[in-house]
Amino acid sequence: MKESCTAAATKFVCLHVTILFFVSAPLHPVFAGSWIPTSAMIAGRSDHTTTLLANGRVLVAGGRGTNHAVLVGAEVYNPITKLWSQTAPMNRPRMFATATLLGDGKVLVTGGYTGTNYTSSVELYDPSSGTWKLTNAMNATRYAHTATRLTNGKVLIVGGRDFSSGVRSSAELFDPLTGNWTLTNSMLFPRYTHAATLLGNGKVLITGGYDGTNYLSVCELYDPVTGTWSTNGALQEARGSHTATLLSNGKVLVAGGYSYTNGNPIPGLPSSELYDHVTQTWNPGGNMNGNRYIHTATLLPSGDVLVAGGSDQNGYMSRAEVYHPATDTWSMTGELNTVRGYHRATILTNGSVLVTGGFRFNDTYMKETELYVQALPFSIKPPVKLPNGNLAITFTNLAGLDFEMFAATSLSQPLNAWTNLGSVVEVSPGKFQFTDTQASNNPQRVYRVRAN
């Protein structure tokens, strides 16, 4: 709680500002680094794609839904209204596809599983018209492959799995200017459920994955200038279905994943590793607070990495934790409101993280979505008593958040007895102000701020 007083004529009007975040009934107290439920998607899904569009909205497409059906539908999340709207369906149902935002604002969706076979089909989503258009197919069918937009604007597709050919080592490039695909050199090892990371020097790092027999520790580096691959050291632990995150310092954080030891499955590793592209070496990172795989990892504006959900030997989880690069340590943060794996996480333009869908027990494909808010510390200025008796309350926080102000005569009042005074105005990015027009009738009030 922050307390401040301001003089008004011959009396003091005391302001007790207690920053509480909560949502509609039942009330959920939420503090910095916690999860706020937002509106549900139209369709429950897992193994889908999510893309942050140039307009700040989020496109969700395909995935697996009710009765394990592979989905063709797509929908868009508006972070301003916090609502979902249906957009045109894709031309093909697909799960474990890739989605890549192109330089012109369109979204390239490639491959995946259609429910009957793996596919090489490719389509483009145009946000301006809300429509999909099939374009030239890839040279190979692929499922659980990776797609990386290179610094030259082309998209590198790597690996994946096919029914007839097994696990692929091949790679190909999409040129948005021509709409054509060209084969580039193949990786040295076939793999799927791997991760691809664009490094600061423009090269692409491939980590882990499964070759059909073993989980891999050997890593490879793709050079777009020469179109060639080279081995690039090895992870200390072989893994697939892990995450790889480019940190603000240029290093790559690999965390969790599925593996084998002496032929026995390991459903979730607790370890993390760090790749230094300058020295081209791997070093052990701090251990997470538990095992996990099929989780998400998101770089936050603070430079920390949020890891959420996934599964371990006990099943799907709601646990979330944050990696701190400065100290190479992990700390627990607020738990998701529900367990989930095979979900997706998308960083929004205001710095919050949108988690969508996923799978949980009882064959449930989830519609529920939630927002992670790593709110900045509230910087609250002393309240100002205006000449007309109104009281102006000003504070700063993350731009784009929505707040409401509540008041009571005592902190001991139950939360459901507080009076909603209305919305807080964001007067400039990150600067919020509320004016209490009833302050002159209430010589002492207690205020609470709620984030929606």
Q: Note the pLDDT tens digit of each residue in 378-409.
A: 667 778 888 888 888 888 877 777 788 888 88
How far apart CA 345 and CA 195 sit, in angstroms, is: 15
- Residue 22: its pLDDT value, please? 31
- pLDDT for 26 beyond 50: no
Q: Are 189 and 158 in contact (CB under 8 A)?
A: no
Q: How far apart are CA 256 and CA 269, in angstroms?
A: 5
Average pLDDT over every residue of 153-180: 96
Counting residues of the chain whose pLDDT is more than 70, the rounded percentage is 91
Distance CA 155, CA 152 (A): 9
Q: Coil, helix or strand for 189?
A: coil
pLDDT of residue 443: 64
- Separation CA 133–CA 104 (nearest Å): 15
pLDDT for the residue 308: 98
Predicted local confidence at residue 81, as pLDDT: 92
Whether residue 5 is predicted with pLDDT greater than 60 in this model: the reply is no
| Cα–Cα distance measured from residue 267 to residue 287, given in angstroms and rounded to the nearest whole number | 16
Which residue from 95, 227, 92, 97 is spatially nearest to 173, judged by alpha carbons?
227
**Placement of tokens 């490879």 in the chain:** 220
Given a cut of 70, whether residue 20 has pLDDT beyond it is: no
pLDDT tens readout for residues 300-358? 988 999 999 999 999 999 999 999 999 999 999 989 999 999 999 999 998 899 999 99
Which residue is associated with the tokens 């509480």?
A: 20
Q: Which residues contact 412 (CB under 8 A, 6 or more apart)?
A: none
Q: Is the pLDDT of residue 24 over 60?
A: no
What Rg do the C-alpha atoms of the chain give, in angstroms? 24
* 426 pLDDT above the threshold of 70: yes
Confidence (pLDDT) at 36? 87
At 361 the pLDDT is 83
Secondary structure of residue 124 in the 3-state scheme:
strand
pLDDT of residue 6: 30
Contacts of 90 (CB under 8 A, 6+ apart): 61, 62, 72, 73, 74, 109, 123, 125, 132
Whether 155 shows a pLDDT value over 50: the answer reads yes
Over 80: is that where the pLDDT of 278 sits?
A: yes
CA separation (Å) from 203 to 185, 195, 225, 358? Answer: 14, 14, 9, 31
The Cα 452–Cα 449 span in angstroms is: 10
The structural domains of the chain, with segments of one domain joined by +, span 2-28+388-451, 47-304
Helix (H/G/I), strand (E/B), else coil: 389: coil
At 107-116, the pLDDT tens digits run 999 999 999 9
pLDDT (0 to 100) of residue 118: 96
pLDDT in tens, 32-68: 477 889 999 999 999 999 999 999 999 999 999 999 9
Q: How confident is the model at residue 136 (pLDDT cuts 50, 70, 90)?
A: very high
- Model confidence at 362, pLDDT cuts 50, 70, 90, reads confident
Residue 383: left (phi > 0), alpha (psi -120 to 50), or beta? beta
Model pLDDT, residue 452:
62
Instruction: Enter the CATH code of domain 47-304.
Output: 2.120.10.80
Whole-angstrom distance, CA of residue 406 vs CA of residue 435: 12
138 to 195, 207, 337: CA distances (angstroms): 20, 23, 39
Higher per-residue pLDDT: 7 or 276: 276
Report the C-alpha gap between 397 and 411 in whole angstroms: 23
Which residue from 173, 149, 158 is spatially nearest to 207, judged by alpha carbons? 158
**CA–CA dist 381, 205 (Å, integer):** 47
DSSP per-residue codes, 3-61: EEEEEETTEEEEEEEEE-B--SSSP--B-SSEEEEEPPPSS--BS-EEEE-TTS-EEEE
Say whether pLDDT at 451 is over 80: no
CA gap 383, 402 in Å, rounded = 20
- Torsion sign (Cα): 262, 263, 269, 270: negative
Please tell me the predicted confidence (pLDDT) of residue 30.
33
Distance CA 35, CA 337 (A): 7
| Residue 102: band (very low, low, confident or very high) from pLDDT cuts 50, 70, 90 | very high
CA–CA separation, 295 and 287 (whole Å): 15
pLDDT at 3 (0 to 100): 29
Q: Measure Cα distances from 2 to 17, 57, 380, 397, 439 in Å.
A: 5, 35, 8, 15, 19
Q: What is the pLDDT of residue 14?
A: 33
In 3-state terms the chain splits into helix, strand, coil percentages (rounded to 5) of 0, 50, 50
Q: How confident is the model at residue 210 (pLDDT cuts 50, 70, 90)?
A: very high
Q: In this model, does residue 28 exceed pLDDT 50?
A: no
Per-residue pLDDT of 239-271, as tens digits, reads 999 999 999 999 999 999 999 988 899 999 999
* pLDDT mean over 130-135: 98
> Which position has the token pair 């989880």?
317
